[in-house]
Amino acid sequence: MADTIRILVADDQADILDALRLLLSDEGYDVTAARSPVEALGRLEASDFDLAILDLNYTRDTTSGQEGFDLMERIRALDPTLPVLVVTAWSSVAGAVEAMRRGARDYIEKPWDDERLLVTVRTQVDLRRALRKSHRLQEANTRLQRGATPVFVCNSPGMLEVRQTIERIAPSDASVLITGEHGTGKEVVATRLHALSDRRTRPLVTMNAGGLAEGIAESELFGHVKGAFTDARFDRIGCFELADEGTLFLDEIANMPVRLQAQLLRVLQTGEVQRVGSSRMRFVNVRVLSATNACLPAEIAAGRFREDLLYRLNTVVIHLPPLRDRREDITPLAVHFLAHYSARYRKPIEAFAADALDVLMAHSWPGNVRELAHSIERAVLMADGGARAVTARDLNLPRVPRAGTSPDAHSLEEAERIFIEKVLARHDGDVRLAAQQLGMSRSALYRRLQQYGIRE
Ligand SMILES: Nc1ncnc2c1ncn2[C@@H]1O[C@H](COP(=O)(O)OP(=O)(O)OP(=O)(O)O)[C@@H](O)[C@H]1O
Ligand SMILES: [Mg+2]
């Protein structure tokens, strides 16, 4: 039947597998069991699933959860849209927090409550179906909306200043480096800079500087001529020429291979590009914007980024603070996304219930504005048909054990503190590496270390 929902369950304990299989098959789900991470990956490669439920610990290494995390990472590489639920012992809050950080949608505590587990499963399955449909719609919309000035919601002092800076420098040709954690709005800033500049009627070309193999990246940037290499059957225009008279946005600039950085620097100095395999120089008039979530001075110190290139890119630097450091933006952003998604899904919802606002303010938003947008989209989809307000239940943000519910109940902050300590210990106290793994800037990590009294 086309509508059968397929769930993969991975656990090394036969009794847990049996219990889950019975429970889920009774509900009409088609359940496939896997006894090891290798078997789970094999199953996922062989066919399509709607949901995966994973244990974090397997026999080889039964406490750290590392095997489970590795498995999650490989699953994300295979299918980034597959929702993953993790099963953890109730005492392992830090494990659950880390799993959520790595993209798990929710977690199930062992021993579980059958009703609650089924609700969690149903929510994720419905959500996946709805999101798939909406993303197809979204793609169609973005193609139409190209060129419009993106909405930039802000209320915190830091972001109001960012908005002013954008308005002030947009009309100039200054190179702008945009920094900030994942999901803080770097692309929104780049798009706005272009849309408010005199180049707005010309193209804004985005290139992900880290996403391509070195040889391909070179021809992507500069183009190539027929015969330049084996597969080059036609001349091809590169991003620089495509962006002529317009704006070139180099995303994830820290990931650009060092050799390509040297070539980029040369083009920025001379304003001339040479297609791969051609000796002809072509003059281009391009404004360059770039973005990164890495700490470029640290990348320079490690020999992975050219200092002279940084000075070409950072005439102006716009730093976007993580959402948890600008809480005044949470409500206005939430209201903005609510209007957007209730219009898109034709729901009459126009407000947040008080408990929903509390939950939004209490959450630490490791995924920043993108996570907030996704949470509101999900809440709008999940809210009852006639509801006028989003409730805390619709938001379904990661549940954290309340104080007093178990002997070692932790608040979210406590869980975060333990988590940071663990990551720091894993990197022998190296703050740079720990910050990288946590996906936060070094200064943000330092602030937390002080806040939690881990370091002076
Ligand atoms: N100030 C804002 N106002 C309105 N929407 C915003 C704002 N900041 C971010 N968003 C929205 O949040 C989402 C993430 O933003 P964006 O893609 O710009 O982040 P990013 O910093 O480029 O992330 P990444 O590092 O993962 O590429 C987008 O849907 C964007 O529209
Ligand atoms: Mg981006």
Query: Tens of pLDDT along 134-143?
Result: 666 655 555 4
Is the beta carbon of 322 within 6 A of some atom in ligand 1?
no
Å from CA of 247 to ligand 1 middle: 19
Q: Cβ neighbours of residue 383 under 8 Å, at least 6 residues apart?
A: 347, 349, 390, 391, 394
Angle of helix 214-222 relative to helix 258-270, nearest 10 degrees, comes to 10
CA atoms of 346 and 175, how far apart (whole Å): 41
DSSP state of 276: B
| Structure-token match 């409550």, residue found | 113
The dihedrals phi and psi of 88, each to the nearest 5 degrees, come to: -135, 155
* Separation between Cα atoms, residue 389 and residue 383, nearest integer Å: 8
CA of 49 to the centre of ligand 2 (A): 28
Confidence bin at 435 (pLDDT 50/70/90): confident
316: three-class secondary structure by DSSP: strand
Higher-scoring residue by pLDDT: 406, 15? 15
Q: How far is the CA of 178 from the centre of ligand 2 (A)?
A: 10
**What pLDDT band is residue 429 in, cutting at 50, 70 and 90?**
confident
Mean pLDDT along residues 421-431 = 78
Ligand nearest to the CA of 439: 1
Count of CB atoms situated within 10 Å of the CB of 315: 14
| pLDDT > 90: percent of the chain | 50
pTM value > 0.75: no
CB-CB neighbours of 98 under 10 Å: 24
Tell whether ligand 1 has an atom less than 6 A from the beta carbon of residue 368: no
Is ligand 1 within 6 A of the CB of residue 153? yes
Query: Is the shortest distance between the CB of 160 and ligand 1 below 6 Å?
Result: no
Residues with CB under 5 A from ligand 2 (ion): 186-187
367 lines ligand 1 (CB under 6 A): no
Distance 152 CA to ligand 1 centre (A): 9
Amino acid 390: pLDDT: 95
Distance 184 CA to ligand 2 centre (A): 8
**Distance, CA of 296 to CA of 456 (rounded, Å):** 25
CA of 184, nearest ligand number: 1
User: Which tops the pLDDT comparison, 379 or 58?
Assistant: 379
